[in-house]
Structure 1
């Protein structure tokens, strides 16, 4: 009985030492390359408290960016994104993989995550990227320059279009409803149809019914 008790005691002691010894092995949470040694040999460290190395993996790269809350209904998981890296002169297409369910009260934004294909290995952590997110699509949209949109005293928007009649070619006013703007262009959702000729040169100075000459550039 004494021998059995000694054996069991020694076995428990060995198991305890093996568990303690296993804690001296550092296991990385993912496969990668050690980019920097933060803690030197001989320093005292604590589990979960002390950073030992900077581990970098270039395989599963992604971009995390904050987006203003005004886009919360138009930017969703699966939305198409064009990612450009100015330093590398590279461009790639991707889609939003994840959107946050939390609005940051400090800047009224939510975060999105976009995976990036890094087959060449040129993309590095913290590299500057420029994103173009397709937050709106209208296949049959009619776009006109912002500069041709005018407003009357009632706040109604209108453009001047070409009207050919027996009296000649005249400028007439056409009330329109505008949609989204993109750069120097704006969408017309109501008031114009395909084939209408919108006056661009002198659009704000031409008068209703004025005879005009058409010059196609």
Structure 2
């Protein structure tokens, strides 16, 4: 019995020692953490600051699009044949009806001559029998047969003439030719590509608009189009067609804009950024996007606060954001006009941190920034 009591006392002492060690460790950790935070708060951190103010804001819809030729085809042949002559230069401008390619038509011309001879004979027979019918030398049935033979012969001539024309490939409309992908002597089947023919002026830009924006666009509305590479020139155009139905898989609708392209800087297949003004200019409270810390629990900013001894500190505040435009973002709530907001250096900050304002270098805050080429 005494041994059992002795073991119980030892166990209680061990448990007590364990609790002392655990709570002692926690207390020391809290003490060091408090000292670290106190030391961190006492440091003065350089930050850039902006005063929240209203900005002129043009409501816009910005979407990506693709440039498409007003007219564009792959030039091909209706009938098979051997290429005899290529008359065009790749990349050249051609007019409607210009001769592009001629297939070998020698056998077809020979057949045409044969049919023309038959038609001539049929005409002679018809005229002769018509004179004989006038004096009742032949029956009306014979004359009718002669007339039918003449019409059939003429039709055969017309058909063969059409065959020859189909083997002479001409430009169906004026435009710019592409690369020639065939050679003289090559056998061409119907549908085989010879080259491409495109009309670049005017030119189309196709893009898609989400369902919720459909009431903000209409036919005739002005658009601005920019390329993502090369020249950053903006091209003006207008909406000419809105598709009749939405794509049920993504709830977007296709829109077509037409642009003048006299310098031919826009080419079919180019990737474009389309901007559409969707309302009147308004005043909106904005900040540089760098001022916002986006977190899973919400977006925050650091507001500058003055304390009694003229020191500057910061206070973290939740904000509700709206649309973005260039470097700027719309602030719907959480910041008032005149509030001073930290725009850079937030990673070093926490509530109550001491700061010094240094605006020698500030983040970009442009609604329409222009990248600078190195």
Shorter-chain TM band: 0.5 to 0.7
96 and 3 in structure 1: CA distance in 2 versus 1, 3 angstrom threshold:
same
Corresponding residue SS for 1:141: strand
Q: CA deviation at 1:10?
A: 1.1
Distance 2:232 2:145 in 1: 72
State the Cα distance separating 1:119 from its structure 2 match: 0.9
How many residues in Structure 1 have an aligned counterpart in Structure 2? 208
Aligned equivalent of 1:54: 196
Say if 2:297 is the partner of 1:155: yes
Structure 1: gaps spanning 5 or more residues: none
| Aligned partners of 2:241 and 2:256 also within 8 Å | yes
**In the aligned structure 1, how far is the partner of 2:235 from the partner of 2:225?**
6
Secondary structure in structure 1 of the residue aligned to 2:263: coil
> After superposition, where does 1:41-120 map in structure 2 within 5 Å?
43=187, 45-46=189-190, 49-64=191-206, 71-74=210-213, 78=221, 80-84=223-227, 86-88=229-231, 90-98=233-241, 101=245, 103=247, 113-120=256-263
CA distance in 2, matches of 1:202, 1:150: 11
Match of 2:331 among 180, 183, 188: 188
Paired residue for 2:113?
A: none
Q: Give the distance between the partners of 1:151 and 1:33, measured in 2 at CA.
A: 50
RMSD of the alignment, in Å?
Answer: 4.4
TM-score (norm 1): 0.63
Q: Of residues 340, 351, 355 in structure 2, which corresponds to 1:207?
A: 351
1:7 maps to 147
Larger RCO of the pair (alpha carbons < 8 Å, separation 6+): 2
Checking the alignment, whether the CA contact within 8 Å between 1:141 and 1:187 is kept in structure 2 is yes
Q: Report whether the alignment pairs 1:30 with 2:173.
A: yes
Looking at structure 2, the residues matched to 163 and 136 of structure 1 have their Cα atoms a distance apart, in angstroms, of 38
Q: In the alignment, which residue of structure 2 is the partner of 1:141?
A: 284
Asked if structure 2 preserves the Cα contact closer than 8 Å seen for 1:104 and 1:110, the reply is no
- Preserved CA contact (<8 Å) 2:226 2:232: no
1:173, 1:88 → 2: CA distance?
43
Q: TM-score, normalised by structure 2?
A: 0.42
Q: Deviations over 1:109-128 (max 9, x none)?
A: 876544332112344444x4
Q: Equivalent residue for 2:367?
A: none
Change (3 A) 1:186 1:35: closer
Distance 1:213 1:122 in 2: 50
Q: 2:320 aligns with which of 169, 174, 177?
A: 177
Q: CA distance change for structure 1 residues 88 and 9 in 2, over 3 Å: closer, same or farther?
A: farther
C-alpha contact (below 8 Å) 1:97/1:114 kept by paired residues: yes
How far 1:35 moved relative to its partner? Answer: 3.8
List per-residue Cα deviations over 1:85-136 (Å, max 9, x = no partner): 744564323345556656497x99876544332112344444x444253587
SS in 1 for 2:235: strand
Cα–Cα, structure 1 residues 193 and 19, in superposed 2: closer, same or farther, change >3 Å? Answer: farther
* Runs (5+) with no aligned partner, structure 2: 1-139, 361-374
CA distance in 1, matches of 2:307, 2:160: 96
Could you say which residue in structure 1 is the equivalent of 2:38? none
